[in-house]
C-alpha cells in the first residue's frame, strides 16, 4: 500500500515516522509542501494512494472523487480544524475519514497568550527598534482587569481562558455550544457580538464555519472599543482582512497578531504588510515537537486502522 502525507509539521519529523510505515509494508510519499497543495496537484496525485494524511490542503469533493477513481480508501485530517475537508464527499465516495481532535489546545493557547502579552507591551516593536540601533520605550497596557472577548470555547479556547484568568483578566466567551467548566467559572458567556464594546482584546480560537466567516468585519470592528487589540490563532477567514486594514488605518484597531490569514502563505502584495504594529505568524501555533509527535501518532494509528493494518 501507499500513503501520501501533505501535513508540513508532520513532514518535519518523517525520519522518526517512516519506520512505522515500513513495519506495516506501507510506502510513504512526502512531497515538498510549504503550506498546502492545490486542488489540481491533489487530483493528479491522490488516485495512486491507498491512504492520505491531510494537512490544510483543500480536500474537496473533486479531490475525493479522483481518489475514489483510483486506490484511495481512507484519509485522516492531521489536527483539529476540519474546515478544509469535505467529510460528506468522502463518505459519499466510500472513503473513511477522521481527524485528531484535542491534540494541541495547550500549545495554541500558549501562542495566544504570548500574543496577548506582545501586543499589550509591544515587545516585538522594542526588539525591532533595538536591532535597528534605537532605544524604544513604548508605554504598554497592564493585563490585570482588562477584558478579553474570547471567540470559541472548545479545547483551545478553554486552555486560553485558563491563561487569561491567571493573568487577572476578565473573559467573555462567545460559543453557541458554551458549557461551564470547573475551574473556569469566572468566564462569562455571551452571544456574539453582545458586550464587544467592553473588550480590550479580541482573541479568536474557534473553528471556521459558514456562520462565522468574517465574524470580524467592518460592522463588528465599529462596535468594538476604540484601540482594541486583535489576535487570531484559529482560521484566517474569520477576519475580513480588508476591513481589518481599514480599522488599523483609522486606529480603531490598535494592533493585531495573526498566525493565520485568508490566503496562505501571506501574499507579497497583502495590504496588511505595511502595518508595523502587527505581528505575523505562519500558521504555526500548534507546532511543537511534542504536539506534532502526539498528533502524528494519532493520525497514523487511525489510518492504519482504516487500512486494516493496525
Residue 59: give its domain's CATH number: 3.40.50.720
Do 120 and 58 lie in one domain? The reply is no
Active-site option among 163, 170, 229, 283: 283
pLDDT tens digit at each of 310 positions of the chain: 999 999 999 999 999 999 999 999 999 999 999 999 999 999 999 999 999 999 999 999 999 999 999 999 999 999 988 999 999 999 999 999 999 999 999 999 999 999 999 999 999 999 999 999 999 999 999 999 999 999 999 999 999 999 999 999 999 999 999 999 999 999 999 999 999 999 999 999 999 999 999 999 999 999 999 999 999 999 999 999 999 999 999 999 999 999 999 999 999 999 999 999 999 999 999 999 999 999 999 999 999 999 999 7
d(CA 139, CA 125) in angstroms, rounded, equals 12
Q: What is the reported pLDDT for 131?
A: 98
* 254 part of the active site: no
Do 155 and 53 lie in one domain? The reply is no
Do 93 and 225 lie in one domain? The reply is no
pTM for the structure as a whole: 0.93
Do 63 and 125 lie in one domain? The reply is no
Active-site option among 264, 293, 294, 301: 264
Do 114 and 74 lie in one domain? The reply is no
Q: Is residue 240 part of a domain?
A: yes
* 214 part of the active site: no
Active-site option among 158, 170, 229, 235: 235
Do 73 and 114 lie in one domain? The reply is no
Residue 239, beta-bridge partner list: 216
- Domain residues for the domain of 188 are 104-278
* 264 part of the active site: yes
Amino acid at each position: 500500500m501507499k500513503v501520501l502525507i501533505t501535513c508540513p509539521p508532520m513532514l518535519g519529523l518523517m525520519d522518526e515516522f517512516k519506520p512505522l510505515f515500513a513495519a506495516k509494508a506501507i510506502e510513504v510519499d512526502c512531497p515538498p509542501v510549504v503550506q498546502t497543495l492545490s486542488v489540481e496537484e491533489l487530483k493528479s496525485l491522490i488516485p495512486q494512494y491507498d491512504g492520505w494524511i491531510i494537512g490544510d490542503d483543500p480536500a474537496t469533493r473533486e479531490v475525493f472523487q479522483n481518489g475514489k477513481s483510483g486506490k484511495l480508501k481512507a484519509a485522516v485530517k492531521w489536527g483539529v480544524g476540519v474546515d478544509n475537508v469535505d467529510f460528506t464527499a468522502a463518505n459519499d465516495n466510500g472513503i473513511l475519514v477522521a481527524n485528531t481532535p484535542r491534540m494541541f489546545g495547550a500549545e495554541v493557547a500558549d501562542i495566544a497568550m504570548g500574543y496577548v502579552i506582545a501586543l499589550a507591551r509591544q515587545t516585538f516593536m522594542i526588539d525591532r527598534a533595538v536591532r535597528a540601533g534605537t532605544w524604544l520605550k513604548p508605554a504598554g497596557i497592564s493585563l490585570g482587569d482588562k477584558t478579553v472577548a474570547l471567540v470559541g470555547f472548545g479545547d483551545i479556547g478553554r486552555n486560553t481562558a485558563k491563561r487569561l484568568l491567571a493573568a487577572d483578566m476578565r473573559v467573555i466567551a462567545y460559543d453557541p455550544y458554551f458549557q461551564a467548566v470547573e475551574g473556569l467559572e469566572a468566564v462569562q458567556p455571551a452571544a456574539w457580538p453582545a458586550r464587544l464594546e467592553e473588550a480590550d482584546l479580541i482573541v479568536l480560537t474557534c473553528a471556521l464555519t459558514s456562520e462565522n466567516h468574517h465574524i470580524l468585519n467592518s460592522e463588528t470592528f465599529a462596535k468594538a472599543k476604540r484601540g482594541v487589540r486583535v489576535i487570531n490563532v484559529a482560521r484566517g477567514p474569520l477576519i475580513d482582512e480588508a476591513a481589518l486594514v481599514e480599522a488599523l488605518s483609522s486606529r480603531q484597531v490598535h494592533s493585531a497578531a495573526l498566525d493565520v490569514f485568508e490566503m496562505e502563505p501571506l501574499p507579497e502584495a497583502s495590504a496588511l504588510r505595511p502595518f508595523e504594529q502587527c505581528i505575523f505568524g505562519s500558521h504555526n501555533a500548534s507546532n511543537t515537537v511534542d504536539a506534532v509527535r502526539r498528533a502524528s501518532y494519532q493520525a497514523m494509528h487511525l489510518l492504519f486502522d482504516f487500512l486494516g493494518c493496525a
